[in-house]
Amino acid sequence: MSGELDDDVEAEQTISINEYLNDVEEKELADLVLGGDEGKECTYSKGYMKRQAIFSCLSCAPEGNAGVCTACSLTCHDGHEIVELWTKRNFRCDCGNSKFGEFFCKLFPSKDVENAENSYNHNFKGVYCTCNRPYPDPDVEEQVEMIQCCICEDWFHEEHIGLEPSDEIPRDDEGEPVYEDFICKACSAVCSFLSTYPQTIWAAGLRRNAGCNTNKDKDVLEEIPSAGGSGKLENGICSNGSPREDNAIANTSAESVTGGKGVTGESSKKIFDLVQCMNDGGAHIACLFGDNIVVDGSISLTKPLFLSKNWRATLCRCKKCLSMYEQKRVPYLIDEEDSIAEYERTAKQKREEKLQQQEGAELTFLNKLGHVEKMEILNGIADMKDEFHNFLQSFDPSKAITSDDVHQIFENLAKKRRRE
């Protein structure tokens, strides 16, 4: 009986190499989602953060009208029914405010009654997409990836985003997405001004001339070459303003602003002529499109949109367009720190810095040792790496590594030490 129990315990402790590698990938993904937040402090004191990982506690707020930060999800809501929402923009932690009744935040109890600027959608109730299904979906055997809209921040199944039969999601030969941002069909109407921009802001693989529902719009879009075209900067662009303003102009590069005929049938050169130094020393930037930018909703996009890499850098920063973004409640589109891509880049940087700090601590410990002790440790590490490398080369990755395998590795190391 005792032997059977030992076998059961050992079976529970074994893990395959593939399972271990998947666990490593999941930890790296978690670091990206959390943005480097170690979950030790409530983020409420930081105000409405541009982007952070947010969780919904259905045990405390079943109506789905509240969200909490990483630290509060771990400390205040441990053991509760938690919904992971990935990231949300311009959000302040709700934990312990009026939406939680008698429940108080353990990390930051002194909070306002309500965070008026927070936005909530049905994701906070644990459902997503136009189908209002949970994720993971218990009624589906195989879970499929979902795509997040960069405007409403809802998540959608690929089959429910409303693609035309002739369109497809832009992917490379290996099936990896080649777009940076996705805008859902409902939110595309809010971004009708994007129809004025050249084709290079669209990720390759979509036919742009089928996206609008007016003859006027059809004329605008059909004059833009198919996605993937290229152009060259025809005019120099100068600015006497600050470096930030210079970058805003310089980012409107050839691949982003040119591409054959202009949006009204005129040459791209005329568009560039609109970008010029102003008499007041560059304090203002001329609109890239003059009076042609779509602001009144007369042109309505009616399909999901996939935007190319760095498309936000091409958006006009003139006073008129900045006002339009505010009016449409999308000013975050010109904020580099808002994008998921930038959020993940920052998270990767924080992860690398953390690993470097750990390595630094190990080196500090090593430097405190004598020469003989250092050499013994370094040689021992090298021998262990070689032994594990030899083992993995000859081992079937689909099988589980048992305690006997590990014991054999250390026995081989011990034999080598004795021979030496």
Rounded Cα–Cα distance for residues 153 and 64 (Å): 15
User: Alpha carbon 310 to chain centroid distance?
Assistant: 13
pLDDT of amino acid 280: 36
Q: Where are the beta strands (DSSP E) in 296-336?
A: 305-307
CA-closest candidate to residue 293, choices 263, 257, 267: 263
User: Alpha carbon 320 to chain centroid distance?
Assistant: 29
Q: Is the pLDDT of residue 86 over 80?
A: yes
> How many domains does the chain contain in total?
2
Q: Higher pLDDT residue, 271 or 27?
A: 27
Residue 392 placed within a domain? yes
**Can you tell me the mean pLDDT for 322-338?**
93
Mean pLDDT rounded to a whole number for the chain = 75
- Write out the H or E segment, with its range, that includes residue 3: helix 2-13
Residue 116 placed within a domain? yes
Residue 286 placed within a domain? no
- Write out the H or E segment, with its range, that includes residue 29: helix 17-34
Q: Higher pLDDT residue, 2 or 110?
A: 110
**Can you tell me the mean pLDDT for 56-73?**
95
Can you list the alpha helix ranges (DSSP code H) found in 261-367? 268-273, 319-327, 340-367
pLDDT in tens, 129-184: 999 999 999 999 888 989 999 999 999 999 999 998 888 899 988 888 999 999 99
pLDDT band of residue 269 (cuts 50, 70, 90) is very low
**Can you tell me the mean pLDDT for 244-254?**
38
Q: Is the pLDDT of residue 235 over 70?
A: no
Q: Higher pLDDT residue, 307 or 399?
A: 307
Residue 244 placed within a domain? no
Q: Is the pLDDT of residue 127 over 80?
A: yes
How is residue 308 annotated by DSSP?
P
Q: Is the pLDDT of residue 263 over 70?
A: no
Bond prior to 62 in cis (omega within 30° of 0): no
**Single residue among 125, 158, 181 that ends a domain in this structure:** 125
pLDDT of amino acid 368: 76
pLDDT of amino acid 33: 66
Residue 292 placed within a domain? no
CA-closest candidate to residue 182, choices 87, 68, 308: 308
**Single residue among 100, 125, 150 that ends a domain in this structure:** 125
* Tokens, residue 358: 């750990």
pLDDT of amino acid 291: 65
The amino acid at residue 337 is: E
How is residue 306 annotated by DSSP?
E
Express as a percent the part of the chain with pLDDT over 70. 68
**Single residue among 85, 101, 125 that ends a domain in this structure:** 125
pLDDT of amino acid 394: 82
CA-closest candidate to residue 21, choices 29, 10, 31: 29
Residue 323 placed within a domain? no
Residue 265 placed within a domain? no
Rounded Cα–Cα distance for residues 381 and 226 (Å): 56
Q: Is the pLDDT of residue 209 over 90?
A: no
CA-closest candidate to residue 56, choices 118, 145, 146: 118
Residue 132 placed within a domain? no
Q: Higher pLDDT residue, 142 or 253?
A: 142
**113-122, 261-270, 280-289, 402-411: lowest mean pLDDT where?**
261-270
Bond prior to 136 in cis (omega within 30° of 0): yes
Q: Distance between terminal CA atoms of the chain?
A: 43
* Tokens, residue 124: 């906070």
| Contact indicator for 157, 131 with CB cutoff of 8 Å | yes
Q: Is the pLDDT of residue 12 over 70?
A: no
pLDDT in tens, 40-55: 899 999 999 999 999 9
Domain that holds residue 77: 34-125
